Structure 1
Amino acid sequence: MTYRFPDEFWWGSASSAPQMEGASRRDGKSDNIFDYWFSIEPERFHQGIGPAQTSTFYDRFEPDIALLKQLNHNSFRTSISWSRLIPDGTGEVNQQAVAFYNSVFDRLLAEGITPFINLYHFDMPMCMQARGGWESRDVVAAYVRYAGLCFELFGSRIKHWFTFNEPIVPVECGYLGHFHYPCVVDFRRAVTVAYHTALAHAGAVKAFRDAGACGEIGIILNLSPTYPRSDTAEDSQAARWADLLLNKSFLDPALKGSYDPELVALLRQHDLLPEVADGDKAQLMAGRVDWLGINYYQPRRVKAKEQACSGAPRTPEDLFDFYEMPGRKMNPHRGWEIYEKGVYDILTELRLGYGNPRCYISENGMGVEGEERFIGPEGRVEDDYRIDFIRGHLEWLHRASQEGSACCGYHLWTFIDNWSWLNAYKNRYGLVRLDLASQVRTIKKSGYWFAEVARNHGFN
């Protein structure tokens, strides 16, 4: 069978400033929360590799963009670092940062690669975290100002913007677990962080439109389709709670400008509602997006709690248990389920339940530990497993498109193997292998395959 996509389909990959740039304390950049956390607890990071040792895009962006061209990308997503552009969070713009981003954007455009630019990828400036982070409405206002400056500085060339990448992740990892700084476990504070992030998103969207900026603005959400273990009332309710808290808490404000009443009732029941100010409702309504980025890696399978939580829930997982489906396909290296049909289910729900918004798959990828085991005699990674992974997801994406989905692109995570929070380089995701010692880049077998798919707008 031939899987053919439209000629205007976006083919590319995604990365982020804190995971790719390096130069984390150079040329005026201040610490973000990961720079600071590594400085006080380096032992928490895999093999002691911190954010200064990322894939050196700051110094090598020109040959890296040439590699993007070789991979037949017509688009590429990265982010702007708030702590690089405005080192104290609220004050003067760092002109060295402006020059760097201008050079990157100009080079991408010169190569015929459309930049998709995200404003925030988990990297709160430490100076703003010290002022309360997303628990503070002053930080929300500072972020909206930062967004407005980005539109002003770069809007003549950047036409595809995103406010946040996976905004639920800092909530889950930073305020419901110990995986992102500040490592808090407090459901009430987590809800406030999520609510203020939604307000920050909406404020940035409003700033974009008030400025009369050209192009489109959206948000990138990691939408894990939620499947109950069975059709019993108990399992179905558990799955509904998980979906409300972990998917719809950002999806509904972004697409509908309001929250699902059932989510509000659930939070009220457990005395977890955030403080709401005058004007918040109108601001959220003004934050409805032009388009949506969808990050999809694995499904979420849920069952009712085997032992009901006594007292108030401390985290969302006090309301449901995860379920391992027998016979599931696994990525044995990462420990994640591979379920290609999930991308179809997401796009179908958006088409039937959300008015079929314009969207694209902004991340999808397969992390593999110890990938050097698969280096062949020609010195490249023979990653047929990644080709199979991408092909399987594209087949289901194609089916969704044939049924009317407004999905208009596919980006792989990621371009070059890059640094990832606590895991550093433990799991490799790239189309291009990075040798940490030499910084040499080598295209993997999947990179050559993806380049052909992008060139032909499809595959057999």
Structure 2
Amino acid sequence: MNFKRFPKSFWWGSATSGPQSEGAALKDGKSHSIWDLWFEQQAECFHNQVGPEDTSTFYENWKEDIALMKQIGHNSFRTSIQWSRLIPDGVGEVNPKAVEFYNNVINELIANDIEPFINLYHFDMPVCMQEIGGWENRKVVDAYAEYARQCFGLFGDRVSKWFTFNEPIVPVKQGYVYANHYPQTHDFLKASTVAYHTMLAHSKAVIAFREMNLSSEIGIILNLTPAYSRSEHPADLEAANVVDLLFNRSFLDPVTLGHYPQELLNLLAEHKQLPLCRDGDAQLIGQGIVDLLGVNYYEPRRVQAKQHVVNPNSSFMPEWFYDPYIKPGRKMNVHRGWEIYEKGIYDILTNLKENYGNIPCFISENGMGVEGENQFLQDGQIQDDYRIEFIKSHLDYVHQAIEEGCHCKGYHLWTFIDCWSWINSYKNRYGFISLDLETQKRTIKKSGEWIKTVSQENGY
């Protein structure tokens, strides 16, 4: 009587990225990405000094891994093409070894009735492009557009779901605002420029896609983090509004509505943080509206009005407008330090329905990272009931949103096999499949068996 059935042809699967799963970081002609370079320069920045060379060996084990996807009921799977593998010089000659690898992966997925969802960029700027400024330089925007066109031409006859970027706000925040990722810059105006040029690159890729008349869809994947105010006090509400503008709507509005929120433009202009715009840019942004939106959701953001006056001589930061708020009694993933708030996923989908034309979307990432999962090993299998409960409790809200008319078409967990996670490396494990780093042995967790049943029955 309590069975929750999902719409016919619902997408059940998982997501990863090339740089986090392939390994073989400099093999078969691949050039350095910024992650390869940063690890060579500062290995101490990475947990246990595990770098991108040691990711989950998908480059060698793709066939076995895809068989495991099939075994646990996947009908869809997202990964990314690495620009530095496909076009090692950033522009120009295509690497035939890379074409062979990505063809093998796409063809094997299709042969196993798993729909390939292919993303073009997952934080992994080629070093040759970073050396000329990365996303600060419009030449890189044009180079990316050509890279996208090459991908569409090489693989577009078989890939039905394309995505230009995954979480484009992350390189902006972590690389240029908070200096946690390469190039470890602390400059909001540069961050604003990087965000803007990323949107121009997105639009140019969408335009190239449409010019090629492919019988497929193109989208983008955004990590939408709802901003909840401490109270209904106007100052708290305004703090949440500014956070939403900076961290969500700065990408969501252009890709769904074709323009930036005027309130955001006014805010940046007031504080002299607007990037340089050229004639025709607004029209270009307007052509980047997507067919499909991927939604990554992990945790909420809770905020309150500033409790202290900002130092007017300090560098401009988002925190000029809000303070974090810790909600008493919140439920936590203590391993990751993130709040677990399942209703957030419902609030996102409802917002998309009410304010963004109910754009077709899917949950492209949701997941629970746990440290020391071997403590839950019984008879050779990780008994990750906590992950099953996490997924189920989020799916309850996805189901409710769909019942209320939200156009959500699927759910992908982050991730398939425990994968490398940027500076955290393998500290927290997320996968349906357990990975032994010493032997590279793959073992299905309890959650992998559970999701197979969910996929087969299209519900739970």
Do both proteins adopt the same fold according to a TM-score greater than 0.5, normalized to the shorter chain? yes
Give 1:394's aligned amino acid: L
Verify: 1:396 aligned to 2:383, yes or no. no
Task: Please show how residues 47-446 of structure 1 align to structure 2 within 5 Å.
Answer: 47-311=48-312, 313-376=315-378, 378-446=379-447
After superposition, the C-alpha distances for 1:381-411 in whole angstroms (9 at most, x for unaligned) are 1110000000000000000000000000000
Distance 2:99 2:353 in 1: 39
Q: Which amino acid aligns with 2:326?
A: E
What is the TM-score of this pair, normalised by structure 1?
Answer: 0.99
Quick one: distance in 1 between partners of 2:366 and 2:372?
A: 20
Deviation at 1:313, TM superposition (A): 4.9
> Is 2:19 aligned against 1:15?
no
Kindly provide the amino acid, as one letter, of the partner of residue 424 in structure 1.
S
Corresponding residue for residue 33 of structure 1: 34
User: 1:367-388 CA distances to partner (integer Å, 9 max, x unpaired)?
Assistant: 0011111111x11111100000
Distance 2:273 2:417 in 1: 41
Amino acid at match of 2:353: R
Conserved? CA contact 1:270–1:313, under 8 Å: no
> Residue deviations 1:309-350, cap 9 Å, x none?
122652212221111100111111111100000000000000
Q: CA deviation at 1:308?
A: 2.4
Distance (whole Å) between structure 2 residues aligned to residue 255 and residue 199 of structure 1:
14
- The aligned amino acid for 1:262 is E
Shifted more, 398-407 versus 209-218: the winner is: 209-218
What percentage of aligned pairs have identical amino acids? 59
Specify the alignment match of 1:5 in structure 2. Answer: 6
C-alpha separation between the residues in 2 aligned to 1:153 and 1:43? 38
Q: How many residues align?
A: 458
Alpha carbons 1:296, 1:343 under 8 Å: kept? yes
Structure 1 unaligned regions, length at least 5: none
Give the match's secondary structure for 2:335: coil
- How far, CA to CA, are the matches of 2:97 and 2:74 in structure 1? 27
Q: 1:436 and 1:349 mapped to 2: Cα distance? A: 41
Let me know the Cα RMSD of the aligned residues: 0.7
Contact preservation (8 Å) 1:185, 1:314:
no
| Secondary structure of 2:439 counterpart | coil
- TM, length-normalised to structure 2: 0.99
Q: Tell me by how many angstroms 1:113 deviates.
A: 0.3
Counterparts of 1:423 and 1:66 in 2: how far apart (Å)? Answer: 28
